[in-house]
Amino acid sequence: PDGIVYDYSAGFGQRLIGAMASKNNLQYIGVEPWIASFQNLNKLYRYIFHHHRCNIYNIGSEDFYQEDLNEKICLAFSSPPYFDTEIYCKEQTQCNLSSYEDYLNYWDKTCSNTSKMLKPNGYFIVNISEKYKDDLVTIASKYFNYDYELYLSYENDKNEPIIIMKK
């Protein structure tokens, strides 16, 4: 109740809707570098939820850090970009980086920033493709402690891991 949820890759708004629909009076903070998606998230929020428990920033998670959020976020949960698998636009703000090493550096900065804002014992959760899981978990383990994982199953027999970590 009354916690802060941070979505470090707000995307199309699924986690926004989930947080705002909660009866726990959550505050949602989301970051989204893609301008069109950022604008649509704000429209979605204002249209469906007519209150002020949501802040969406037009910035990437690798650059988002607010000192006033130090150790205040209860839960950080998202599905970050799948490097070169999901390319939605060609804006400079996108994580369509020139190399896999750049992608891993983006992820390291995201984890570092999130770690500073996450409460002690707060949860860091990532939904990612099996293809990138090991590399992303290795980096995230510098900042968070691995707890367990779940799998999302889709009708096409595709499974995606959801990694649960704690600060």
The burial of 140, by beta-carbon neighbours within 10 Å (0-12 exposed, 13-18 middle, 19 or more buried), is given as buried
pLDDT above 70: percentage of residues in the chain: 90
Determine the Cα–Cα distance for residues 96 and 76; give it in Å rounded to an integer.
Answer: 22
pTM: 0.89
Give the model's pLDDT for residue 48.
81
Q: What is the pLDDT of residues 115-148, one digit of tens each?
A: 999 999 999 999 998 999 999 999 999 999 999 9
Give the model's pLDDT for residue 95.
56
Give the model's pLDDT for residue 92.
59
The pair of structure tokens assigned to 145 is 């402690």
How far, rounded to the nearest angstrom, does the alpha carbon of residue 20 sit from its chain's CA centroid?
16
Provide the pLDDT confidence category of residue 156 given band limits of 50, 70 and 90: confident
| Beta strands per DSSP E along 19-94 | 27-31, 54-57, 73-78
Give the model's pLDDT for residue 157.
72
Provide the pLDDT confidence category of residue 76 given band limits of 50, 70 and 90: very high
**Measured on CA atoms in the order 87, 92, 94, 98, is the torsion positive or negative?**
positive
Across the chain, which distance is largest between two alpha carbons, in Å? 43
Give the model's pLDDT for residue 77.
97
Q: Identify the residue with better confidence: 44 or 163.
A: 163
Least confident of 27-36, 49-58, 88-97, 156-165: 88-97
| Mean pLDDT computed over 42-60 | 85
- Kindly report the average pLDDT of the chain as a whole number: 89
Q: What is the pLDDT of residues 4-50, one digit of tens each?
A: 999 999 988 889 989 988 888 889 999 999 899 999 999 988 888 76
Please give the C-alpha separations between residue 45 and each of 1, 41, 56, 122, 130, in angstroms, as whole numbers.
20, 6, 9, 25, 31
